[in-house]
Structure 1
Amino acid sequence: MKLELRHLRVVCAIADAGSLSKASSLLGLAQPALTAQLHRIESLLGGKLFDRDHKGARPTMLGELVLERARVLLPAFSRLQEDALRLVDDSSPGDRYRVGSVNGPMLGGLVHRLTELHPGAHVSTQVSWSGDELAGAVAQGKLDYVMVGVCGDAPPPTEHGLTWSILAVDPVFVIVPEDHPCTAKEEVELAELKDMQWAVTPGDGCFGDCFVAACSRAGFTPRTMYEVDTNSCVDLAQSGDAVVLCQPMFRRTPGLVAMPIAGVPLKWRHVMGWDPEGPAAEFAGQVMRYAIDAYRETVERNPRYEAWLPTHPEYGPLDYHAVI
């Protein structure tokens, strides 16, 4: 392992807080994890950085040297990032498309359309499990557009001053093994799955609470909910260890079936946000059209969902820009 800037941030945080317990709270780490990280940093640097006792943590001579250098390097690195962002921001609107996305079905298709239809433009992406994090990046000028999913009628992240528009509305489906008895039906009743474990990809928002409420209306309390990455969701579904809550555009996977839930107890809105005062606002309508076209393309790859939509016209892509 090599010394990295994140290690210097840890050392500064401990020195500024005066103790590992206070620093662990500020850094959002468990104290044992922070202690182990400090030991690794000290091993890299060849000696103790802090003398620690019941009164707190005080830098050693080596610690003082590291802190002196870190307090020069970290601000310089931050200025480098700011200068780089300013340089990118000097690009003319339409020459650059920086898109953030949370586990949605449209990002790949949107990137394809941007690169194909605007061959001279710089296209970049950022993915996170947190829609709030990406919305903040748009507000800070680090991204131009963000696509997130929001549960039911819940609002998207509102504290960043972005304009939001709905791209599409989906039901939530479940992924089950193809030999599960419910796959013989067009839809599965939520109560039929009451004895199962559950799995979902992580994210912020109220989806977990809405799922518990839907189960309560169906007459049961759900068992364990695993928050795991997409590949682990597939593994858990294939092994029969969990039913996976998913978007209906789930790619066909051997041994698995994505099923609609009767009565659509859970829905998901795909929304796009941008800074209404920023240069990207001029091209927001165009980018939304590309995203909706990408969405339609993913629907066409899922025959079960494509067949379901005509009888549920309130779901699917929106042909108009509904600003939230």
Structure 2
Amino acid sequence: MRHLKTVRTIAEAGSLTRAATALGLAQPALSAQLRRIERTLGGELFERGRHGVRATALGELVLERARLVLPAVSELQQEAVRFARARAGRKAQRLRLGSTHGPLLGALVDLLAAAAPDAQVTTHASWSERELAALLAEGRLDFAVAGACGNATPPDAEHLVWQEFAVDPVFVMLPEAHPLARAPEVELAELADEEWACVPGDGCFADCFTAACARAGFSPGRMYETDIASCAHLVQVGRAVGLCRATFPTTPGIATRPLAGTPLRWRHLLGWHPATQRAETAATVLAQARSAHTDAAARSESYADWLAGGGHRTTGPGLPL
């Protein structure tokens, strides 16, 4: 397997120098390793030239087989790890949770710990939905709380189960001294001259936000992508206005206000791998995730006001509740 990966890396890099860098080896060491591989396989795999290397006919044969073998073995490894971890997790009553930023992970941990005090609950936080999906696929997480904007497809949806458990409007965070901080709702166009802050992600939220601004008649200014604490600080000091889920907790110096017409929505999703989780366990965690969201929504005064005023009946373009 290591030899096949080395051959594939050389072919993809196009030169021994670049391949050695990618593999973390010195070029002479990689050249010696390639010669050993070629002796094992009975002939030269690459033609060396001034501009790099090119696969020989034998090299093309080996690469063709490697493209089939490497993913198959990798999938076997992942499946074996998932199976072993699932069995070990059931024996030890272990529950490994992952989540992107936001208040729901802590609330979910609290509810699950109360419901199953003997279970060992561990957590992993990441800004990347794709990373969480990979950890689910590898059996290193049992469940993940993630999200998607609009109707976007969550990562690795062909192999994982993603169940929507709530949908929130996206609110704007304003410093308390901002002229719009006490407005019942804020038109997105009223913020055309602002700089922005939000947490990073690898979904389509940035594109959806830019499209919403375009519909409002402007292009957004500078966007600071950083952790939630830094976003809050930038808003508090008046450096930027922020984008947040409506469940964002009440924070000193910050007013969260709904955007008129709800141009952006955030779907909360619970993900798991169907081969490693029993249906009753998934149903329990899903129910607790819904409860965690309900509690978070009740603690946000601006969100509670928005819901009481019938805001949940408003829909943004192409983003149905």
| Displacement after TM superposition at 1:278 (Å) | 2.1
Match of residue 244 from structure 1: 242
Alignment equivalent of 1:58, drawn from 20, 28, 36:
28
2:206 is the counterpart of 1:208: yes
Note closer, same or farther for the CA distance 1:159–1:168 as it changes in structure 2 (3 Å cut): closer
Amino acid at match of 1:152: G
Match of residue 185 from structure 1: 183
- 2:81–2:139 Cα contact (<8 Å) kept: no
> What is the CA deviation profile of residues 229-256 of structure 1, one whole-angstrom value per residue up to 9, with x for unaligned ones?
1111012111211111111122222221
Write the distance in 2 (CA, Å) between the matches of 1:259 and 1:107: 23
SS of the residue 2:181 aligns to: helix
Match of residue 133 from structure 2: 135
Match of residue 296 from structure 1: 294
Match of residue 287 from structure 1: 285
Write the distance in 2 (CA, Å) between the matches of 1:298 and 1:314: 20
Amino acid at match of 2:258: P
| Displacement after TM superposition at 1:177 (Å) | 0.8
Write the distance in 2 (CA, Å) between the matches of 1:265 and 1:23: 49
- 2:85–2:139 Cα contact (<8 Å) kept: no
Note closer, same or farther for the CA distance 1:173–1:19 as it changes in structure 2 (3 Å cut): farther
Write the distance in 1 (CA, Å) between the matches of 2:17 and 2:249: 46
- Could you say which structure has the larger radius of gyration? 2
> What is the CA deviation profile of residues 223-280 of structure 1, one whole-angstrom value per residue up to 9, with x for unaligned ones?
1111111111012111211111111122222221111111101100001111223234
Note closer, same or farther for the CA distance 1:240–1:120 as it changes in structure 2 (3 Å cut): same
State the TM-score, normalized to the length of structure 2: 0.72
Structure 1, 173-182 or 244-253: larger mean CA deviation: 244-253
| Displacement after TM superposition at 1:150 (Å) | 0.3
SS of the residue 2:287 aligns to: helix
Note closer, same or farther for the CA distance 1:275–1:281 as it changes in structure 2 (3 Å cut): farther
> What is the CA deviation profile of residues 3-55 of structure 1, one whole-angstrom value per residue up to 9, with x for unaligned ones?
xxxxxxxxxx99x977675466x58xxxxxxxxxx9xxxxxxxxxx84xxxxx
How large is the Cα RMSD of the aligned pairs? 2.9
In structure 2, list runs of 5 or more residues that go unmatched. 1-8, 34-76, 315-321
Write the distance in 2 (CA, Å) between the matches of 1:305 and 1:293: 16
Write the distance in 1 (CA, Å) between the matches of 2:157 and 2:20: 27
Match of residue 194 from structure 1: 192
SS of the residue 1:58 aligns to: helix
Write the distance in 1 (CA, Å) between the matches of 2:173 and 2:109: 27
SS of the residue 1:271 aligns to: strand
Write the distance in 1 (CA, Å) between the matches of 2:191 and 2:16: 49
Match of residue 313 from structure 1: 312
Write the distance in 2 (CA, Å) between the matches of 1:130 and 1:160: 18
| Displacement after TM superposition at 1:122 (Å) | 1.6
Note closer, same or farther for the CA distance 1:84–1:239 as it changes in structure 2 (3 Å cut): same
Matches within 5 A, 1:21-170: 21-22=18-19, 26=22, 50=26, 57-59=27-29, 86=84, 89-92=87-90, 95-159=93-157, 161-170=159-168
- 2:86–2:277 Cα contact (<8 Å) kept: no
Match of residue 175 from structure 1: 173
- 1:163–1:274 Cα contact (<8 Å) kept: yes
In structure 1, list runs of 5 or more residues that go unmatched. 1-12, 28-37, 39-48, 51-56, 65-78, 316-324
SS of the residue 2:268 aligns to: strand
Note closer, same or farther for the CA distance 1:83–1:264 as it changes in structure 2 (3 Å cut): closer
| Displacement after TM superposition at 1:308 (Å) | 0.6
Amino acid at match of 1:236: L
Alignment equivalent of 2:269, drawn from 268, 271, 286:
271
SS of the residue 1:262 aligns to: coil
Aligned length: 257
- 2:97–2:144 Cα contact (<8 Å) kept: yes
Write the distance in 1 (CA, Å) between the matches of 2:104 and 2:111: 11
| Displacement after TM superposition at 1:94 (Å) | 8.8
Write the distance in 2 (CA, Å) between the matches of 1:94 and 1:281: 18
> Percent identity over the alignment?
45
- 1:171–1:248 Cα contact (<8 Å) kept: yes
> What is the CA deviation profile of residues 49-96 of structure 1, one whole-angstrom value per residue up to 9, with x for unaligned ones?
84xxxxxx3359xxx9xxxxxxxxxxxxxx9xx889936632427922
Match of residue 231 from structure 2: 233
> What is the CA deviation profile of residues 140-161 of structure 1, one whole-angstrom value per residue up to 9, with x for unaligned ones?
2111111111011111113551
